[in-house]
Amino acid sequence: MNITIKFRGDDGFHNRLLSYLKQHLPFQILSLTPLRKNVYIVSLKDGFQFVLKGYSSLRRLKIQEVFTQSLKKAGFDYSYSFYSLPNEHRLFFESQYFGFLEYLRRGENTFYYDSMDHCQEGLTLLQSFHIASEKLVDSYRTILPAFHLIDKWEERLQQFQANAHVLSSFLQKEVIEGLIYWAEWSLTGLRQEKESLYSFPNVILHGDVAHHNFFRISTGELYLIDFDLISTGPSIADYLQYSNRILPFLSWSIKELSSFQLLQSYFQHPVFLYALAFPTDIFREWNRLVKEHTYNDVRKVRSVMELTLGQLDERLAFYKQLETNIN
């Protein structure tokens, strides 16, 4: 047996977990390899592998198990499945419930938002996910939280404003004030168009469409993974987040973004244009930096500074073009 550590963590915890698994699983375990916090690859002596993932509550684990199963029944096959143990035996170790996920072997062509083809491929997969999740939304309405875009962004703006005294050590006053201006402009428009916001199909939202949650498997197919942030809400919320994720790779070009056929209809709605002007990614990262007190970490600060300033001129020109288009 061995343990392969890919990130800094508690070696003692990994050894205790391995010992616990050997005692409670009817398998011969060869290795336990951490992928990220609370996620491990378990390799068995017969060559079989699966992913072990920890959840803070049994309810969270059960929702993930049932939801991925529901997705498959609704016709969405491009994700993993959960395995179940005999007699519904549950692994509970040091305040976490562990689930068993299908191991997906990574393909050579890693997915990233580095080309128009990749951006289109991810968008098409997200649309397929929504088509399936729309069939499930009524069944999960009382189980999953409802997503309220305006409330979430108002809170994010308030946190950014409250953190301004810390941020002033890193950003010029004009930059902070400019970002706040566009956030307030965006929210004003969203409040005016609130009824339109909820006119889009109600689906189960993925909630985290970062490139690393689109996974290329060894056969070349693209899978959608990690449903920890699912909620119910209008489909536009996922497409807004997706647009925000790919815009840096499109150099903040309205022409490039609107060239995706799936998004073209959204550009006819002012609510979509107002929402595109909210600097949610910048606010999220600075707020996290302050919350976690990691603003003394040079590497992390450099990353957030690059996010903020690296394409600031292009971003501001994009916002101004949105304003022109609405007017």
CATH number at residue 177: 3.90.1200.10
Boundary residue ending a domain (102, 126, 142): 102
In a domain, 172, yes or no: yes
Locus of tokens 């098409």: 124
Q: How many domains does the chain have?
A: 2
- Same-domain status, 293 and 168: yes
Q: Are residues 261 and 174 in the same domain?
A: yes
Looking at the domain assignment, is residue 158 inside a domain?
yes
For residue 103, the 8-state DSSP code is P
Pair 5, 11: CB distance under 8 Å: yes
Residue 281 forms part of a structural domain: yes
Nearest to 231 by CA among 213, 210, 208, 262: 208
Does residue 42 lie in a domain region?
yes
pTM value? 0.93
Sequential pLDDT tens for the chain (327 residues): 333 334 445 678 989 999 999 998 888 999 999 999 999 999 999 999 999 999 999 999 999 999 999 999 999 999 999 998 766 678 999 999 999 999 999 999 899 999 999 999 999 999 999 999 999 999 999 999 999 999 999 999 999 999 999 999 999 999 999 999 999 999 999 999 999 999 999 999 999 999 999 999 999 999 999 999 999 999 999 999 999 999 999 999 999 999 999 999 999 999 999 999 999 999 999 999 999 999 999 999 999 999 999 999 999 999 999 999 998
DSSP H or E segment with residue 52: strand 49-55
Whether 263 is covered by a domain: the verdict is: yes
Domain-terminating residue out of 102, 133, 163: 102
Do residue 84 and residue 138 come from a single domain? no
What whole-number distance in Å separates Cα of residue 292 and Cα of residue 115?
33
In a domain, 45, yes or no: yes
Domain boundary among 34, 69, 102: 102
- CATH number, domain at 59? 3.30.200.20
**Do 230 and 159 reside in the same domain of the chain?**
yes
For tokens 């047996």, the residue is 1
Indicate the angle between helix axes 236-246 and 116-136, nearest 10 degrees: 160
The two tokens of residue 232 are 């119910």
Residue 292 neighbours by CB distance under 10 Å: 10
Does residue 110 lie within any of the structural domains? no
Let me know whether 304 and 186 are in one domain.
yes
Check whether residue 31 and residue 124 sit in a common domain: no
265 and 133 in one domain?
A: yes
Domain membership of residue 229 as a residue range:
116-326
Q: What are phi and psi of 70, to 5 degrees?
A: -65, -40
Q: What are phi and psi of 19, to 5 degrees?
A: -60, -40
Q: Are 111 and 251 in contact (CB under 8 A)?
A: no
Q: Mark whether 237 and 144 lie in a shared domain.
A: yes
Question: d(Cα 272, Cα 263) in Å, to the nearest integer?
Answer: 10
Q: How far apart are CA 184 and CA 145, in angstroms?
A: 26
The answer to the question of residue 111 being in a domain is no
* 211 and 283 belong to one structural domain: yes
* 65, 183: one domain: no
